[in-house]
């Protein structure tokens, strides 16, 4: 079992999978996602600031929905994300199609290297955690 601190409300929670956000905050985010999605469906021409003001969802969260590829804006929407590599305007995700294609190549070779090195590392981590717990108790 993995206990983590929620990056939104800073409370401890049992982490299962996905980002470090507790179930409560995840649900809240899900509700906000639906609100933004619905708002954009009705107002496809709204700017990022307008959407944020009208839905009371922070811009950073709307951006992260877009970056996750969960939310998409229409081609004529003023809302634009920029490619994290070259700054090109994109509609969704983190990279433009050109950069994501070249990144995919890089990532798959990096992933191969990681799986090769991973097995002994997890054992090391476990041992480290145990040591940490023990020294914690001494204090």
Q: Which residue in the set 19, 25, 37, 64 belongs to the binding site for Zn ion (CB under 5 A)? A: 25
Q: Residue 81 forms beta bridges with which residues?
A: 90
Would you count residue 81 as binding Zn ion (CB under 5 A)? no
Tell me whether residue 83 or residue 91 sits nearer to Zn ion (CB atom): 83
Give the integer Cα–Cα distance in Å for 16 and 26.
Answer: 13
**Long-range contact set of residues 113-122: C-beta below 8 Å, sequence gap at least 24:** none
Q: Which residue in the set 83, 92, 93, 94 belongs to the binding site for Zn ion (CB under 5 A)? A: 83
- Is-contact 78 66, C-beta < 8 A? no
CB of 83 to Zn ion, least distance (A): 3
CB of 5 to Zn ion, least distance (A): 9
Give the integer Cα–Cα distance in Å for 119 and 80.
Answer: 41
Q: Which residue in the set 19, 43, 88, 93 belongs to the binding site for Zn ion (CB under 5 A)? A: 88
What's the half-sphere exposure (Cβ side, CA atoms, 13 Å) at 110?
6
Residues of this chain that interact with Zn ion (CB under 5 A) are 6, 8-9, 22, 25, 83, 85-86, 88, 96, 99
């Amino acid at each position: 079992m993995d206990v983590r601190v929620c990056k939104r409300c800073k409370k401890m929670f049992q982490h299962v999978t996905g980002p470090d956000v507790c179930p409560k905050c995840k649900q809240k985010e899900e509700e906000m996602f639906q609100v933004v999605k619905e708002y954009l469906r009705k107002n496809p021409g709204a700017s990022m600031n307008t959407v944020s003001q009208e839905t009371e969802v922070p811009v950073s969260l709307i951006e992260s929905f877009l970056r996750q590829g969960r939310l998409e804006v229409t081609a004529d929407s003023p809302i634009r994300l920029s490619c994290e590599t070259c700054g090109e305007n994109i509609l969704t995700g983190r990279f433009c199609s050109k950069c994501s294609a070249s990144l995919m190549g890089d990532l798959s070779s990096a992933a191969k290297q990681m799986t090769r090195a991973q097995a002994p590392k997890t054992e090391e981590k476990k041992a480290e955690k145990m040591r940490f717990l023990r020294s914690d108790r001494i204090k």
